[in-house]
Amino acid sequence: MRRDLFEEEHLLFQETVREFMAREVVPHHDRWEKDGIVPREVWKKAGEIGVFGFGVPEEHGGAGIKDFRYNVVITEEVMRIGATGLGFSLHNDVMAPYFVDLTDEDQKARWLPGFASGELITAVAMTEPGAGSDLQGIRTTARREGDHYVVNGQKTFITNGINSDLVVVVAKTDPEAGARGVSLLVVERGMEGFGRGRNLDKIGMHAQDTAELFFDDVRVPVANLLGGQEGQGFFQLMANLPQERLSIAVMAIASAETVLAQTIEYCRSRTAFGRNIGSFQNTRFVLAELDTELEIARHYVDRCVVALNAGELSAVDAAKAKWWTTELQNKVIDRCLQLHGGYGYMMDYPVAKAWIDSRVQTIYGGTTEIMKEIIGRSFGF
Ligand SMILES: Cc1cc2nc3c(=O)[nH]c(=O)nc-3n(C[C@H](O)[C@H](O)[C@H](O)COP(=O)(O)OP(=O)(O)OC[C@H]3O[C@@H](n4cnc5c(N)ncnc54)[C@H](O)[C@@H]3O)c2cc1C
């Protein structure tokens, strides 16, 4: 079916991003996988062609356009080439609302120009060694002392953890107040007592820097509180999670579509028993099922993008998109690997890397089980 999400301007931007990826990312990504990190220079180069901060107001260096379809264009181009090391979608899709919508004028002036230029890389630190799904179980605290908060605690699994300059830290400003005692503070690179631990040794996404962060009596100015009010952090997170989950769903579909297309090509050329493997009914049935499921999922996700732009994407809609598409992505890529035979197990073939990289998609941003909880709770039992 015809896809009608994009208009002329999105397609033009798509060409720009595709050309950028071919020139600045494709030739280097293998090396970044070995290095365990993407160099900061590529962020700056991406900033120069306007990849970051579409929603950043023009006076702060952005394009001043709130249209998630541009984010979709970028994410799809990144996934098309399997460049899972780039933390662009975390910066652009997940962090932008925190920095654009929850900042006062002073904070905007300090942070947004760097956000849009790619010189200030962002991260969000919710998860702790003892609390992931159960966000209210976090133990990091921010104690008010005059014009500062004193932050103590530890975070783990933080995307862009090594490269980040601005980390939105979820901390308890009132440990007795439950959900109303959580606040979001921006901790900046170089603040005394802010340390980074290991660049974690993951099974996939090797070019992505995922790290532990430590906070030891870090004095964070009250001017770095997001949203202007203490105790709102939990609700601010809840408000932004649907966009994060939709972003992951967009990644899932783009990645699975790419691998499916590669697999169809493989099935055309690989022969067994004197025929190409695409001529076996089983191969055609498997490909037909995957293609059908993906196309149906694609239309739901595109519809979610339109709903997000209209301010109508609910937490339940986004949860459905997230769990369904990421489980589907894993299924599609696993079946595609099978159709590659032994070659599918070799890193020379993109399906192998996609198989490893995609596994985390059902886990971060809220696990499949938590997504089902969100949907299930909506029935009001
Ligand atoms: C590569 C990577 C990048 C990440 N990036 C970030 C980041 O940038 N920032 C950040 O803050 N975090 C990040 N995370 C953390 C991620 O969001 C958490 O790992 C995830 O939310 C799950 O939390 P957990 O690991 O503590 O698992 P747990 O919460 O311990 O869950 C373990 C298992 O129990 C299940 N479970 C838990 N509660 C329930 C329940 N109520 N009902 C049914 N089942 C349940 C889960 O679904 C899961 O299967 C990242 C993780 C990874 C692996």
Overall average pLDDT of the 4-11 stretch: 98
Distance CA 161, CA 165 (A): 9
Reported confidence tier of residue 53, pLDDT bands at 50, 70, 90: confident
C-beta separation of 51 from 92 below 8 A: yes
The pLDDT value recorded for residue 104 is: 98
Q: What pLDDT band is residue 245 in, cutting at 50, 70 and 90?
A: very high
Tokens in use for 99? 């920095």
| Other CB atoms within 10 Å distance of the CB of residue 63 | 16
Q: Is position 327 annotated as part of the catalytic site? A: no
Pairing status of strand 210-221 against strand 271-272:
unpaired
Beta strands in the chain, from DSSP E residues, in sequence order: 122-125, 141-145, 148-159, 166-172, 182-188, 194-199, 210-221, 271-272, 275-276
The model's pLDDT over 78-108, given as tens digits with 9 standing for 90+, comes to 999 999 999 999 999 999 999 999 999 999 9
CB contact at 8 A, 348 and 309: no
The pLDDT tens digits for 190-239 are 999 999 999 999 999 999 999 999 999 999 999 999 999 999 999 999 99
DSSP bridge pairs for 199: 211
- Contact call for residues 344 and 338 (beta carbons, < 8 A): yes
pLDDT of residue 351: 98
By alpha-carbon position, which residue is closest to atom 35 of ligand 1? Answer: 369
271-272 vs 275-276, strand pairing mode:
antiparallel
How far does the centroid of ligand 1 lie from the alpha carbon of residue 341, in Å? 32
Percent of the chain residues past pLDDT 70, beyond the cut = 100
Angle at 271 between CA 269 and CA 273, to 5 degrees: 165
Please give the average per-residue pLDDT across 159-186, as a whole number.
Answer: 97
Tens of pLDDT along 326-347? 999 999 999 999 999 999 999 9
pLDDT exceeds cutoff 90 at 381: no
Which of 33, 76, 230, 244 is an active site residue? 244
What count of Cα atoms within 13 Å lies in the side-chain half-sphere of residue 364? 23
Q: What value does the mean pLDDT take over residues 141-149?
A: 98
Question: From ligand 1's centre to the CA of 364, what distance in Å?
Answer: 6
Q: What is the atom index within ligand 1 of the atom nearest the CA of 127?
A: 11
Q: How far apart are CA 142 and CA 155, in angstroms?
A: 14
What is the pLDDT averaged over residues 7-34? 98
Distance CA 183, CA 331 (A): 38
Q: How far is the CA of 125 from the centre of ligand 1 (A)?
A: 13
- Residue 281: its pLDDT value, please? 98
293-317 pLDDT tens trace:
999 999 999 999 999 999 999 999 9
Report field, pTM of the whole predicted structure over 0.75: yes
Mean pLDDT of the chain: 97
Closest residue CA from atom 4 of ligand 1: 157
Residues in the ligand 1 pocket, defined by CB under 6 Å:
123-127, 132-134, 157-159, 202, 210, 360, 363-364, 366-367, 369-370, 373
